[in-house]
Structure 1
């Protein structure tokens, strides 16, 4: 498997990986009617906004089996989304009028229409954030650590002081992994944890 910088042709593969890992690390295909929704929110806007902070892992056939995406400035990214990302999706995807208990599409559609927000109490210290996903076949090979190290090094080169992420409380394997690569708990929520890491050290 190969880790390399993002290319535009990777976007569909990234969206697919996002869906296949989108239910606390498990396949979220049964959870969403629209298979592209998770990617629209958590994967594809990042390389469109700043392609220099996305890397992918591909298998022997060249298919995307994992990625890390990030932004150096979460608050600035939210403003970019309002100007350049959400408007087209809002025109194409209507705001849900009711909760569909059979799926979770309504949760992501509300993010599309209300926009993403980031807690200034977190971003003041950890202005960057990331999302990382690896298919099971790519796990246990050191690729997750390599992806995060690559992103951290790029953020340090830009002078970014800290990096954070959110993780579902049910994804215990991911939480243990993030702790091993240097993240600590910043905030606790009903849905899970915000973890952060200081980038000012060596």
Structure 2
């Protein structure tokens, strides 16, 4: 007997609502290994979301958009219009609570191939820093979509929603980094209008002009 593939209903792209946060945490974890499921890599399933998803709608909910279908939230895009100001906000309002919850003693590799310690090390070490890149491309984003949402045009729709909001605020440009272990993401960003500014061993720095 041949299995019949499931046909997913239409997906909706809409602005963020606070009730979306639990779904965003799940998507962040299930795409957190260069687009693959990172669940086996984390003892604390919320740690990735604390670092790469939740601070953005907390700082500026108008620059977060989500994609949902009949099964729930399946993707999101988060961003800040001004990376340096966002880093200052994190230092003052976001990292202190997390640094208390995850003390520096946890930033040590336990040798069991889990990655929690890397994220804890990051949240303790990161500090606001001005880069020349921020002059022309001050905004940055993260986008994550579950496998069931891929190939449905949702990535482009999410990027379009975000860039329209950024242009409406007069933001001149946008940047992001994509790891060398995720060539599919790099190809996607090129198709939606990003160009590769530089390439290093870790991956590519990509930019998009918005003005």
2:208 match: secondary structure = strand
1:120 match: secondary structure = coil
CA deviation string 1:116-139 (max 9, x = no partner): 556612111210000000001111
Shift in Å at residue 67 of structure 1? 0.2
Structure 1 match to 2:147: 136
Q: Which one has a bigger Cα radius of gyration? A: 2
Counterpart selection for 1:113 from 111, 114, 124: 124
Equivalent residues of 1:163, 1:199 under 8 A apart? yes
2:27 match: secondary structure = helix
2:136 match: secondary structure = coil
For 1:45 and 1:121, the matched residues in 2 are separated by 23
Q: How many residues align?
A: 199
Counterpart selection for 1:147 from 147, 151, 158: 158
Structure 1 stretches of 4+ with a deviation exceeding 6 A read none
Equivalent residues of 2:12, 2:68 under 8 A apart? yes
For 1:159 and 1:116, the matched residues in 2 are separated by 26
For 1:194 and 1:24, the matched residues in 2 are separated by 15
Structure 2 match to 1:56: 66
RMSD: 1.3
TM-score (norm 1): 0.94
- Change in Cα spacing, 1:39 to 1:127, as seen in structure 2 (3 Å) is same
1:131 match: secondary structure = strand
TM-score (norm 2): 0.90
